[in-house]
């Protein structure tokens, strides 16, 4: 065995003695992977095929004790840390170059209490894992829109999902979290214990520690009326106007995603995806205008189980493709917004790329901006251009197109990104990262100062401590 070149928290190179690595290996129940080990290349891969980083060490944690050992090791030896939950984040914050990746992919157990209607899930759980267990009891909570996304990153950044109209964001349903903070202690954060930390975890991202488990409030979720309707691009103006008018005045039962995509025939189409969470007959009536307009090219709305709703967009989010995203919050969808979307989208270089207008939902909008760290409570929706392609040679053209699209859309947005979708600081600049936390930024700095004063957890949408 030889000493290892690693990246220190400052970003500079350092040498780590082999004895320290062997001590860490011996203290872990799960494997510690190094370059060259079997499974190393698989473990460092994340959902976005563009991300090709090589951690010096990957600790595949088997439980909380492993997380504590890994955090203490990183702190003691000043090693750069990244934390992997579901590994779905487009900028790839969960995997670092040269540092220690604390990998929770092996920690995915979910325990449901059907009487209290709560569920506790480990930090590497995906929404597919979570929904499978909770739906066995006819229960569920707001998740994301793609089933293989991790609960961890999504919940810590806020969590916009299909039940948002009735039940708010995912973080609004978070009851408690266990996390290992920078000094290696495990803390419980909820309204009674460490309430400042609990506030910060609901929108502040992965800035405060490694969350080893989350406890959520569940709700009865029966069959839903859901699916997608597609319209020809020749009717794009009318279809997007219909969408806008519809979302501005929907009951809590409805949450929607409007979008633009390219059909298998290679032509742009408008999509409206809906989820009605209530009496199915009332839902049929309410969704009639959406389904009658056009006529649509296709109407895939039907009663379905929540687990099925949660996979509706999976075909547009295949693991391993190349992805790049630009997004912003939007308070309204103006006529000019619609015109710009229609003008720009047909120039998209890749047929795999999509544009979405994802509604936060009425209940999410009713929570005050200061109640949790997620500050975008006035936003009607998040607009996102999720570009996707297959060949590395097409990186530049797709990235450039997405950036230009984002710039022409910016005047129609709040100018503030969703923490879960913003790019890395080197690209976005520290001011945009700050803006993603909105008016809550200064209070978040206070939480950071208290729980992570040395900024061990920096490989994310970083809030810099000021102590």
Ligand X SMILES: Cc1cc2nc3c(=O)[nH]c(=O)nc-3n(C[C@H](O)[C@H](O)[C@H](O)COP(=O)(O)OP(=O)(O)OC[C@H]3O[C@@H](n4cnc5c(N)ncnc54)[C@H](O)[C@@H]3O)c2cc1C
Binding stretches for ligand X (CB under 6 A)? 46, 82-90, 93-94, 104, 123, 144-146, 149-150, 152-154, 156-161, 206, 210-211, 317, 420-421, 460
Q: Nearest-CB residue to ligand X?
A: 153
**Extended beta strands in 182-286, E state:** 186-190, 210-217, 219-220, 224-232, 254-262, 268-276
What is the closest distance, in whole angstroms, from the C-beta atom of residue 38 to ligand X in the complex?
Answer: 22
363 close to 250: Cβ distance less than 8 angstroms: no
Instruction: Calculate the alpha carbon distances from 185 to 224, 293, 451, 467 in Å.
Output: 42, 57, 10, 20
Give just the sign of the alpha carbon dihedral 304, 307, 313, 318. negative
Please state the length of the chain: 467
> Of the two residues 139 and 154, which places its CB atom closer to ligand X in the complex?
154
> Of the two residues 150 and 438, which places its CB atom closer to ligand X in the complex?
150
Distance CA 202, CA 179 (A): 13
Distance CA 189, CA 64 (A): 15
What is the closest distance, in whole angstroms, from the C-beta atom of residue 171 to ligand X in the complex?
Answer: 9
What is the closest distance, in whole angstroms, from the C-beta atom of residue 417 to ligand X in the complex?
Answer: 11
Q: Of 129, 162, 133, 134, which is closest to residue 147 (Cα–Cα)? A: 129
* Token output for 141: 């909570």
Instruction: Calculate the alpha carbon distances from 313 to 271, 279, 284, 429 in Å.
Output: 12, 24, 22, 31
What is the closest distance, in whole angstroms, from the C-beta atom of residue 83 to ligand X in the complex?
Answer: 4
What is the closest distance, in whole angstroms, from the C-beta atom of residue 295 to ligand X in the complex?
Answer: 29
Q: What is the CA radius of gyration of the chain?
A: 22
What is the closest distance, in whole angstroms, from the C-beta atom of residue 146 to ligand X in the complex?
Answer: 4
What is the closest distance, in whole angstroms, from the C-beta atom of residue 7 to ligand X in the complex?
Answer: 16
Helix (H) or strand (E) holding 133: helix 127-135
> Of the two residues 304 and 317, which places its CB atom closer to ligand X in the complex?
317
> Of the two residues 84 and 108, which places its CB atom closer to ligand X in the complex?
84
> Of the two residues 16 and 46, which places its CB atom closer to ligand X in the complex?
46
> Of the two residues 87 and 140, which places its CB atom closer to ligand X in the complex?
87
**Extended beta strands in 69-138, E state:** 81-84, 100-103, 110-113, 118-122
Q: Of 179, 236, 198, 197, which is closest to residue 357 (Cα–Cα)? A: 236
> Of the two residues 100 and 146, which places its CB atom closer to ligand X in the complex?
146
> Of the two residues 16 and 352, which places its CB atom closer to ligand X in the complex?
352
What is the closest distance, in whole angstroms, from the C-beta atom of residue 319 to ligand X in the complex?
Answer: 10
* Token output for 268: 């742009």
């Amino acid at each position: 065995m030889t000493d290892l070149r690693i990246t220190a928290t400052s970003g500079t190179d350092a040498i780590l003695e082999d004895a320290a690595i062997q001590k860490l290996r011996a203290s872990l129940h799960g494997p510690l992977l190094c370059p060259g080990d079997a499974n190393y290349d698989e473990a460092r891969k994340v959902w976005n095929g563009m991300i090709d980083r090589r951690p010096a060490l990957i600790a595949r944690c088997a439980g909380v004790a492993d997380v504590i050992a890994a955090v203490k090791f990183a702190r003691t030896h000043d090693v750069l840390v990244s934390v992997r939950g579901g590994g779905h984040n487009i900028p790839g914050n969960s995997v670092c170059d040269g540092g220690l990746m604390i990998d929770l992919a092996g920690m995915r157990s979910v325990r449901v209490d059907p009487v209290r209607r709560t569920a506790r899930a480990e930090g590497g759980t995906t929404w597919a894992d979570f929904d499978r267990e909770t739906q066995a009891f006819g229960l569920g909570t707001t998740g994301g829109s793609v089933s293989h996304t991790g609960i961890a990153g999504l919940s810590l950044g806020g969590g916009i999902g299909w039940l948002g109209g009735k039940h708010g964001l995912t973080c609004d349903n978070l009851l408690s979290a266990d996390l290992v903070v920078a000094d290696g202690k495990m803390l419980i954060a909820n309204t009674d214990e460490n309430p400042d930390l609990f506030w910060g975890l609901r929108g502040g991202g992965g800035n405060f520690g490694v969350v080893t488990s989350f406890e959520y409030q569940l709700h009865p979720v029966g069959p839903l009326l859901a699916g997608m309707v597609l319209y020809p691009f020749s009717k794009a103006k009318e279809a997007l106007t219909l969408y806008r008018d519809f979302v501005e005045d929907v009951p809590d039962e409805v949450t929607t995603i409007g979008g633009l995509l390219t059909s298998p025939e290679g032509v742009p189409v408008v999509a409206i995806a809906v989820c009605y969470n209530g009496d199915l007959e009332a839902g049929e009536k309410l969704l009639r205008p959406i389904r009658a307009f056009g006529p649509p090219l296709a109407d895939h709305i039907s009663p379905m189980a929540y687990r099925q709703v949660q996979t509706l967009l999976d075909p547009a989010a295949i693991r391993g493709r190349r992805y790049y995203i630009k997004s912003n919050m939007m308070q309204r969808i103006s006529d000019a917004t619609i015109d710009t979307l229609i003008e720009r989208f047909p120039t998209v270089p890749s047929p795999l790329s999509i544009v979405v207008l994802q509604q936060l939902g009425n209940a999410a909008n009713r929570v005050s901006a200061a109640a949790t760290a997620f500050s975008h409570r006035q936003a009607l929706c998040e607009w996102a251009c999720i570009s996707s392609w297959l060949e590395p040679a097409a990186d530049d053209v797709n990235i450039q197109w997405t950036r230009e699209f984002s710039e022409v859309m910016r005047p129609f947005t709040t100018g503030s990104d969703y923490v879960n979708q913003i790019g890395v600081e080197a690209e976005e600049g520290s001011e945009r990262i700050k803006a993603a936390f909105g008016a809550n930024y200064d209070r978040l700095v206070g939480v950071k100062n208290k729980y992570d004063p040395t900024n061990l957890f920096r490989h994310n949408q970083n809030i810099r401590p000021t102590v």
